[in-house]
Structure 1
Amino acid sequence: MSLYFAPTPEQLGSTLQALRKSRGLTQADLAKLAGVKQTTVSNAENNARGMRVETLYRLLAALDLYLNLQPRSAVEPTKEEW
């Protein structure tokens, strides 16, 4: 099982994009699986800062992923990452 670390919205977007591509999906494919528009997937990958929580969960479910929270002390990001 692989773990993905995304402490910033930008890294979250990049991680979502990488995972989508690793599964051989286009943005349109992922959008259809998640029940959202292709532009929503594009926005999530390029500017995840404004993504709705519901959208994140839809994309994660479509990619067969779930959100795992852990204490910040486990991996402490720098202030620039927040």
Structure 2
Amino acid sequence: MPTSFLEIVELPDGRIALRRADDEEELVILDFSESAKEFLQGYHIEVAKAMLNVGVQMAGRLASGDFDDEELPRVLH
């Protein structure tokens, strides 16, 4: 993926998207359920920012080869 600035935006339907600043195409979309939004007491956007930030950091580490296979999570839950 070419280097470009990324932005996190709230879409008109309330979903949170990560996209290139110079493109309207979403790279990642997060969609919180209403019950999750209630649980997070309106802080779902901050949680989405944190999730996307860690994801971008991880993608950068994987792309640069700066990641040991031993560190990869084996179980998702």
Shorter-normalised TM-score: what interval? under 0.3
Rg (Cα) greater in structure: 2
Name the one with the larger helix percent: 1
Provide TM-score, normalisation by structure 2: 0.27
Bigger fraction of residues in strand: 2
Higher relative contact order, chain-length normalized (CA < 8 Å, sep 6+): 1
After TM superposition, the score normalised by the length of structure 1 is: 0.25
